[in-house]
Every structure is written in C-alpha cells, then in structure tokens.
C-alpha cells in the first residue's frame, strides 16, 4: 500500500481518472461531515454494531472491476490503512491510503480540520 497526502491524492486522481476514491467511514460520517467529491461510500466499519463490514472487500472489488487503482480515505488516515491491508490480503495490488484523511489529526484542543486533512487543504468536497 502506498501513502499519499491529500494534495498528492487529488493530483493522482486527476492524472488517473480510472482510479476510484473509496470513503471507508461510516454512513453517518459521510452524510453529516461531508466527503470528497466523487468518493464512493463503502464503510469499513459501520453501525449499529460498529463491526467490520463483512462485504467490504467484495464491494470494493466490484467497484474496482478491472483492477483500477483504489484510493482509500477515512477521517484521519487510520481506518483506511486497516481497510487497505484487508484489500491487499484479498489480492488487490494497486491500493493507496490518504494520509491524515478527510478531517485530519486532532489539535491541542482536540479539534480536527485545523492543520491537515482533505478539508483543511481546501480540496473539493461536499455534504450532498
């Protein structure tokens, strides 16, 4: 698995339109916090039990169909690593992780979006 900053990811997606951007966060995060424009929601862990999605790998494989590059994003870049490892274990080879994720790391006041992440970098995102 390769790791890219949000800006590197955006540039990679622009240069590789066949790549898919998968938001591995929960449905609630995707809807209420927002998500990168063009991202496909396939939760790695979701409610109500907050367990690993047993269909995650199959859904990503279907979305990636012809071995398209798969770029994973979560809130801070941690869940997406676990999801990426599962994809690699299942045989996917062109897997990327977005460092710092959509909202970035916590700051001293325990807030996100203050010093890194997709939204902090002012990359295209939406709440629809």
**pLDDT-based confidence at residue 90 (cuts at 50, 70, 90):** very high
Average pLDDT over residues 69-75: 97
Q: In the chain, at which residue ranges do the beta strands (DSSP E only) sit? A: 2-4, 20-23, 35-36, 40-41, 45-46, 51-52, 70-73, 95-98, 125-126
**Paired sense of beta strands 95-98 and 51-52, if any:** unpaired
Q: Output the pTM of the full model.
A: 0.94
**pLDDT-based confidence at residue 115 (cuts at 50, 70, 90):** confident
Three-state DSSP class for residue 64: helix
What's the confidence (pLDDT) of residue 110? 84
% of residues, the chain, pLDDT over 70: 100
Q: Choose the CATH number for 2-46+55-126 among 3.90.1150.150, 1.10.3720.10, 3.40.50.2300, 3.40.250.10.
A: 3.40.250.10
Q: Helices (DSSP H) in the chain: which residue ranges?
A: 6-15, 27-32, 56-64, 79-89
Residue 60 has pLDDT above 90, yes or no: yes
């Amino acid at each position: 698995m390769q790791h890219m900053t949000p800006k590197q990811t955006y540039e990679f997606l622009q240069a590789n339109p066949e790549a898919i951007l998968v938001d591995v966060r929960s449905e609630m995060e995707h809807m209420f916090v927002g998500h990168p424009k063009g991202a496909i929601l396939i939760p790695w862990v979701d409610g109500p039990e907050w367990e690993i999605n047993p269909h995650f790998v199959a859904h990503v494989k279907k979305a990636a169909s012809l071995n398209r590059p798969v770029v994973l994003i979560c809130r801070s870049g941690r869940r997406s690593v676990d999801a990426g490892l599962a994809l690699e274990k299942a045989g996917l080879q062109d897997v990327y992780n977005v460092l710092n994720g959509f909202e970035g790391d916590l700051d001293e006041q325990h807030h996100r979006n203050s010093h890194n992440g997709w939204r902090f970098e002012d990359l295209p995102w939406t709440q629809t």
